[in-house]
Each structure stands twice: as C-alpha cells, then as structure tokens.
Chain A
Amino acid sequence: MKPVFTRTTGLTDKPFHYCPGCTHGIIHRLIAEVMVEMGILDTTIGVSPVGCTYNNYEYFACDMVQAAHGRAPAVGTAIKRVHPDNMVFTYQGDGDLAAIGAAEIVHAAARGEKISTFFVNNAVYGMTSGQMAPTTLVGQVTTTSPFGRRPEFEGYPINVSEMIATLRGAVYVERVAVNDFAHISKAKKAIRKAFRVQQEGLGFSMVEILSTCPTNWGKDPVASLRWMEDAMFKQYPLGVYRGQELEV
C-alpha cells in the first residue's frame, strides 16, 4: 500500500486561517502541487493580494511578495522584468482584481506581461464582510445590496475572462471551478497550462477560478458549492476564452 494523495511540499505546514469549507484552500493546494510537479517551486515568486488571502505568503512554500490592494499585476510586472528567469504569479480576489485593481490587470494583460494571474471569483468582498463586488450576480443579496443587486441601481456584473480575452497580449485565458472532483482536476490542468505559457515566454496568462464564500453567502459549505453551480455557472460560463489552440 502506498500513499496516493499526500499533502504537497509546495505548501508550508501552517494551517490555513480560512473559514470552514472555503474553497480558497483547494486553489492554494492546486497551485502548490503544480509548482512542485513542474519543478519550479524554487524559482517561483508569487504576489499576495489584499483580501482574505492577504497572508497566503505564509502558506505557499515559494518566495512571495505582498502587494497593495489590486496592484499585484504591477508588482508582478516589475519582478518579472527584473528577474525574467523566475516564474511569477499573482493570486487575486474579485474585489482586488476587478474593482480597485481593474486598471492594473487590464494593462498588464494588454502589455502581454509574462506573468500568470490566478483570479479567484467568489462574487463578494469576502474579507471585509461580504460587500457587493463587480462580480456580484444580478439579484444577489450582499451587505451593500440588501435588496439584491438591481442593474438599474447597482449595474451589471463584469465578466473578467471575456473582457481580458479581447486583449492581444493575453494569450491564455480560461475560467474553471472547484466545485467537484472533475472540475478540480480541470482547474489544476488550467493552472499548469498558465505556468507553461509563461515558461515558454508566450505572454500573459490568466485562470479565473469560481470559488465559494460560505460565510458571506450565508450558506453551509455544501450548499455553497450547489449555489456556485446553479447561479454562478450561468453568469460565468466555464471554458477557454483565449489560447484553446496552444499546445504547451
């Protein structure tokens, strides 16, 4: 009998501080496993966001830097240009990337920066207690859209992957989810492809990962996964938005 699933050495021993059932943890594990499997743990520099995962520099066993809110793509740009032989990724929530950091991500993608962005969309500002984000669904109740998001008053959600995919510098853009075994396996493949695109120097790569926030959605962890499937999948169709043809 041999171990077929063990805790990856791409993570430190420190237990995550996330709420029970929060899928940020699954995403951390996938990124860590890919770094180990690709043999890039020692040469990767990650950029932590502001949001619930602000201190994930304590969890990833690679080198990490903390950026100001939304500025991870700008910080990542600088690191990559100074250290072109290192792998650079940003880990960003939807408040971080699609609200305060909307300019940084658009221009990093447009410039074709050779970095990989892992964009975690949970349709709320998790850390600050569940305010509406640019990604909040129409009708979704949050602390700042107590009547449900009304388009005429609060506007429409931003589909970030579709938007970034219009930029020529973005060579690989895919939206995945971590709701079940099959989708988690697919998400891992997408993360690997993003790093491979960077390794080959092809340009900017981004994987949008649909994730849960049981605490601020007011649902238990299992019900949160079902809500992701029932509600989020409709607004945010999974799939490759750029780079389908890339063999890396």
Chain B
Amino acid sequence: MPRVEFDEERCKGCGLCVSVCPQKIIALQKDKLNSKGFHPAGVVDMDRCTGCTMCATICPDVVITVYR
C-alpha cells in the first residue's frame, strides 16, 4: 500500500501539497501546531494514496517522503 510521511516540524502549512494531490486526501491539521507555529499538513485517508509523489515534488520545504 502506497504511503506518505510528513516531517511535521519542517512543514510551514503553505498548502501547496494540498492543492496538487490528485486524490484530494491532504489537509492542514487545524488542531495541531508545530514548534514554528504552523498547522502541519497531513493525510486524511492514507488508503487512497497512490504514491504519485506530486505532493513531495511541489513541497518547497522537502517535508514529504513517499513509499510505494
């Protein structure tokens, strides 16, 4: 099963990954803050991840690891 991991401490909540995910399964976690004060992005429904790497490719802060 494809899977993505977010290094949440590096995330700046910019939303670029959210905007490009073809499966629309990424969201900013509004109930969480990292130590920089950002809402980190996370995956809502990992079962639907295809491992396409679109999110990791657009992420300016190199937060995301993708497994397939």
A79 in contact (CB, < 8 A): no
Whether B14 contacts A4 by the Cβ 8 Å rule is no
Q: A29 — nearest CB in chain B belongs to which residue?
A: B62
1-18 of chain B: CB within 8 A of chain A: 1-3, 7, 9-10, 12-16
Q: Which of A185, A214, A222 has the most CB of B within 10 A?
A: A222
- Give the B interface residue count (CB, 8 A): 29
B14 CB to nearest chain A CB (Å): 3
**Interface-located stretch among A5-13, A162-170, A191-199:** A5-13
Whether B66 contacts A5 by the Cβ 8 Å rule is yes
Whether A18 contacts B57 by the Cβ 8 Å rule is no
Q: B38 — nearest CB in chain A belongs to which residue?
A: A20
Whether A5 contacts B57 by the Cβ 8 Å rule is yes
Whether B16 contacts A180 by the Cβ 8 Å rule is no
A28 CB to nearest chain B CB (Å): 8
Given the known inter-chain contacts A221-B14, A222-B15, A222-B19, please indicate yes or no for A4 contacting B57, CB distance below 8 A: no
A interface bracket (residues with beta carbon within 8 Å of B) = 20 to 34
Contact partner of A181 (CB less than 8 A), chosen from B15, B20, B51, is: B20
* Interfacial chain A residues near B66, Cβ < 8 Å: 3-5
Whether A15 contacts B15 by the Cβ 8 Å rule is no
* Interfacial chain B residues near A77, Cβ < 8 Å: none
Q: Which of A5, A11, A18, A22 has the most CB of B within 10 A?
A: A5
| Given contact pairs A4-B67, A25-B61, A220-B15, a sample of 4 additional A-B residue pairs in the complex whose CB atoms are under 8 Å apart | A3-B66, A4-B53, A16-B61, A21-B12
10 smallest CB-CB distances across A and B, nearest first, come from A25-B60, A21-B14, A20-B12, A5-B66, A20-B14, A5-B56, A221-B14, A5-B53, A4-B68, A222-B19
